[in-house]
Amino acid sequence: MSTLLLALLACYVGGSVLPPCLRGHPTLQNLLAHSLACAAGLFGIALGVAGLVASEPLTASVSSTIPYLSFAIRLDPLAAFFVLTISLVGLACAIYALGYVTEFYGRASIGALGSLFNGFLLAMTLVVLADNGFFFLIVWEIMSLLSYFLVVTEHEKAEVRYAGFFYLVMTHVGTAFIILTFLLLFRETGSFSFDVFRHPEAPLPPGLRTVAFVAALIGFGTKAGIVPLHVWLPYAHPAAPSHISALLSGVMIKTAIYALVRVYFDLLGGEFPWWWGFLVLGIGAVSALLGVMYALMEHDLKSLLAYHSVENIGIILLGIGAGMVFQTYGLKEFAALGLLAGLYHTINHALFKALLFLGAGSLLYATHTRDMEEHGGLLRRMPWTGLFFLIGAVSISALPPSNGFVSEWLVFQSLFLSFQLPDLFLKLMLPIAAAMLALTGVLALACFAKAFGISFLALPRSAHARHAEEAPVSMRVGMAFLAVACIVLGVAPMVVVPLLDRVVAPLARVSIEGKVLAMDGWAVAPVNVEFSSLSPPVLAFLLAALSLLGLGLVAAFGGLAKTRFYKTWGCGINLTPRMEYTATGFVQPIKRVFSAIYQPTVKLETELLEESRYFAKRQRFESRIEPVFQKYLYDPVVAFFIAAADRLRIIQAGSLHLYLTYIFVVLVLLLLITI
């Protein structure tokens, strides 16, 4: 494992340092940067699998001259699982980028883009390997800064600069709470070592444990994109290049999930009051439902996918929150099931969301627009991209036999086990969360029926769509890799569950592999097979068999298939793209049903003919969704700080003597406080 780790680090470092040395050769920079990232991804996959099956964690540490800082890493099963997830998505994005970044030749520095790409993957890998709080904060900040620079790749655009600034502010607000979490742990232990955090001489007092819990939830929740801290996602993810969007949504926000699991189940000992788990569960349910509801209203394909990241983070937190609730009451097997379901959905979401962002990038590459209203008819022109996007859409909609279906089914089962809880309130709340998850699933299906149908079916709505061509081979290979992975994780839970059990068992202190896998591994069950069970391989076989049976019956009773082309009947009118269903029209009924949440505003301007006031010459219709969280939560906070800054401007007199006086006064006050 140490050899694999060194090889991974060497490839990422080489991919970060070498490409800028080839100035003036963008093709060589592209090939070098992303080939090294591909090699690092392969080493990372091998390292992740090796870490999952190893009998003992791999640890290494290098001391420093900085007090409390130790460059310590630890590859235990939890870290190995996230290294595997990062490497899978990183490999696919690196392959995809070989073709995709040619679009940036002459518009951006390919050497810098490739260098930042490798550095970003390296920083995320070190985040999940860090075994020292000080070191963790350093690589966390490096990860945040590198992702910011990647988001603002096209910084000449005003909207991209705004998105980058918004993201930078939000991520540093989150970092402040993360620092508070580690400072509280440091206060009681006198060290930043994770091992000391795990085995303190005296545990944190209950009050400080609660502060640490809330601070971690806010800090890491900001990066994960939980409601209401999600507002940066719809800005940053669409602004970044598409292979970077896939990394941001597929794996970067998962580092926050890793950190939450690490802090709650490992560093804090996995013991907490019931309301901790209920709060995580509630935030997960609200995030899932509101995320998909706002995604439905988006016509920008990448913004739609960004909101679905909020939704799926909510689903992950539903599983983790349920596990925390069961852990409180000593129901360790059910706690392990909830945690396993959340982690299963973590890797599933990483794969299908990265696939969808890469598919959206292919559409952008071919049509030069993210607006679905200007797509249409692309399945005929981009059949491979359409197929891969459809697999991702089926997976995120949790339709069998996809990977999203299996993990969401396990999340449902963990919520339905609430009847085992002794508390009546929680017995009622967990099924309500399951009902919210069911509504989320229905809306997600509607959303991707819109996304796929409006983009790929019917007639082209613009000249770009009419002249679109299939994506280059490397882009298709990157998407194909993720599409195959989605199918494999959906039909082969007998491979995934044992590996996840090795992650969950040390955290929940019980192994449930034998109670989740039934029928010699061909079925999964929620700990007790008599409650319910599901066999994804058999289900996939039945779906395939029924499809073939249907085709066989058609051939038997209808004769040999014949193809005939004819105009679609339209009541004698020639059909045009203007007659197609629009994304706006598709979601109009849902917008009306949930108008209290969306708070839509409609503006209609009519210009009448000069000859008669009864006939309209031109009408302009505008409809928009009120950004509720930004308007009522963030805008007032921003306005407050701007007003405070205006009042404090008086102290900025431009006098050097006055500024030295300020420094002297502050130093005196600090001395008085510390004495």
pLDDT band per the 50, 70, 90 thresholds, residue 144: very high
Residue pair 64/70 in contact by the 8 Å Cβ criterion: yes
Which residues contact residue 117 at a Cβ distance below 8 angstroms, ignoring those fewer than 6 apart? 15, 33, 34, 37, 93, 94, 97, 150, 243, 244
Reported as a single tens digit per residue, the pLDDT across 445-466 is 999 999 999 999 988 988 889 9
546 falls in which pLDDT band (50, 70, 90)? very high
pLDDT for 529 equals 61
**Higher-scoring residue by pLDDT: 522, 123:** 123
Q: How many CA atoms lie within 13 A of 464 on its CB side?
A: 15
Angle at CA of residue 616, ends 610 and 619, nearest 5°: 120
Give the Cα separation of 483 and 504 in Å (integer).
Answer: 26
Q: Which of 8-12, 65-69, 98-102, 667-671 has the lowest mean pLDDT?
A: 65-69
Is the pLDDT assigned to residue 520 strictly greater than 90? no
Residue 608: pLDDT band by 50, 70, 90 thresholds? Answer: confident
What pLDDT sits at residue 479? 96
560: pLDDT confidence band, cut at 50, 70 and 90? Answer: low
- Which residue type, as a one-letter code, is found at position 541? F
How would residue 508 be classed by pLDDT, with cut points 50, 70 and 90? very high
pLDDT, residue 280, reads 96
Q: Could you tell me the CA-to-CA distances from 514 to 406, 507, 523 in Å, in that order? A: 17, 17, 11
- Cα–Cα distance measured from residue 253 to residue 226, given in angstroms and rounded to the nearest whole number: 10
Locate the domains of the chain by residue range: 295-591, 594-626, 629-674
pLDDT value, residue 561: 63
- Phi/psi of residue 605, nearest 5 degrees: -115, 130
The span from the CA of 345 to the CA of 407, in Å, is 5
* DSSP symbol at 227: T
pLDDT at position 201, please?
A: 79
Length of the chain: 675
- CA separation for the pair 14, 35 (Å, rounded): 10
- Amino acid 655: pLDDT: 82
The span from the CA of 603 to the CA of 598, in Å, is 16
Q: Given a cut of 80, is residue 570 above it in pLDDT?
A: no
CA distance 506 to 512: 11
Q: How far apart are CA 90 and CA 241, in angstroms?
A: 14
Sign of CA dihedral 543, 546, 552, 553: negative
* Tokens found for residue 432: 């309500």
Q: Residue 629 pLDDT more than 90?
A: no
pLDDT of residue 190: 87
- What is the per-residue pLDDT across 331-380, written as a single tens digit (0 to 9) for each? 999 999 999 999 999 999 999 999 999 999 999 999 999 999 899 899 99
Q: Which residue has the higher pLDDT, 609 or 23?
A: 23
CA 58 to chain CA centroid, nearest Å? 28
101: which DSSP letter?
G
Distance CA 71, CA 584 (A): 52
Query: 3-state class of 58 per DSSP?
Result: strand
Question: Each residue of 638-659: pLDDT tens digit?
Answer: 899 889 988 888 887 778 888 8
More confident residue, 320 or 190: 320
Find the mean pLDDT for residues 473-478: 96
Q: Which of 77-91, 512-526, 614-628 has the lowest mean pLDDT?
A: 614-628
pLDDT recorded at residue 649: 81
Residue 674 has pLDDT above 80, yes or no: no
600, 626 contact by CB (below 8 A): yes
On the 0-12 / 13-18 / 19+ scale of CB atoms within 10 A, 314 is buried
Q: What pLDDT, on a 0 to 100 scale, did the predictor assign at position 559? A: 67
Q: What angle do CA 350, 352, 356 make, to 5 degrees?
A: 115
**pLDDT of amino acid 510:** 93
- Name the more confident of 267 and 531: 267
pLDDT reported for residue 579: 80
Q: Is the pLDDT of residue 189 over 90?
A: no
**What are 371's strand-pairing partners?**
300
Average pLDDT over every residue of 83-93: 96
Q: Tell me the pLDDT tens digit for each residue of 575-600.
A: 778 788 888 888 888 888 888 888 88
CA distance 483 to 476: 10
Answer whether 47's CB lies under 8 Å from 75's CB.
Answer: yes
Please check the confidence at residue 326 and state whether its pLDDT lies above 70: yes
User: 302 falls in which pLDDT band (50, 70, 90)?
Assistant: very high
Tokens of 295: 């995604």
Q: What is the pLDDT of residue 491?
A: 93
Residue 98 has pLDDT above 90, yes or no: yes
In percent, the amount of the chain with pLDDT more than 90 equals: 67
Q: CA nearest 420: which of 342, 507, 282, 327?
A: 327
What are the pLDDT digits (tens) for 241-269? Answer: 999 999 999 999 999 999 999 999 999 98
The pLDDT value recorded for residue 645 is 86
How far is residue 6's CA from residue 106's CA, in Å, rounded to a whole number? 35
Query: What is the average pLDDT score of the chain?
Result: 91
Q: What is the pTM of this model?
A: 0.93
